[in-house]
Amino acid sequence: MAFASDSTSADTGRTAFRTQAAVAGLTTAEAKILQNRIDAALASDGGKQSAANEIRYPDGRLLLALPGEKYARELGKNSGTAAHSCTPGRLCGYSGVEYTGDEREWYTCAFHKKPTNWRSGGSWYNNQTRGRVANWYDINKRWMGATPPAPSGTKYGQWQGVGYAKPC
């Protein structure tokens, strides 16, 4: 019995992701830009690509904003709005101010490395169980501060200096 190689499996996944991007209305060039961003995030932070603009981790996901769009969104759903799109029960970080750009969701009570390329600016929303706080740590896991109790957020945050989030 023959088994598919990892490269065959990866090629099949890439074809499916290209199809998803086309159905979402992306041009071939935009789909390539998106895939390059996914590949860069996978190379720096690991995870597994699960959709044309999504990487899954054991502790959540990274949802990339589509080329030309301001807000991250799941494919097949309407484009985002200025309000956060953080899933209930999650702590969410955004690469841009006012909940724009890429969205990283965390939900397990552990140290979670922030996306490597988030170096300044940004925003966050604590959509965990009502009253729960999240904590921020530097790269050496020294506590930097906590969020107000959920639900809470800030449209104008700062990722510089943050190394880890701990949603509990």
What's the pLDDT tens digit per position in 72-101? 998 877 655 656 789 999 999 999 999 999
Task: Please report the pLDDT score of residue 81 as a whole number.
Answer: 60
- Average pLDDT of every residue of the chain: 89
Residue 85 neighbours by CB distance under 10 Å: 19
* Phi and psi, residue 144, nearest 5°: -110, -30
Task: Please report the pLDDT score of residue 43 as a whole number.
Answer: 96
| CA distance between the termini of the chain | 48
Residues contacting 131, CB < 8 A, separation 6+ = 149, 150
Between CA 90 and CA 157 the distance in angstroms is 17
Q: Full-prediction pTM beyond 0.85?
A: yes
CA dihedral 44, 143, 84, 35 (to 10 degrees): 0
Q: Which residue type occupies 65?
A: A
- CB contact at 8 A, 104 and 93: yes
| pLDDT (mean) for 132-159 | 96
Between CA 12 and CA 135 the distance in angstroms is 39
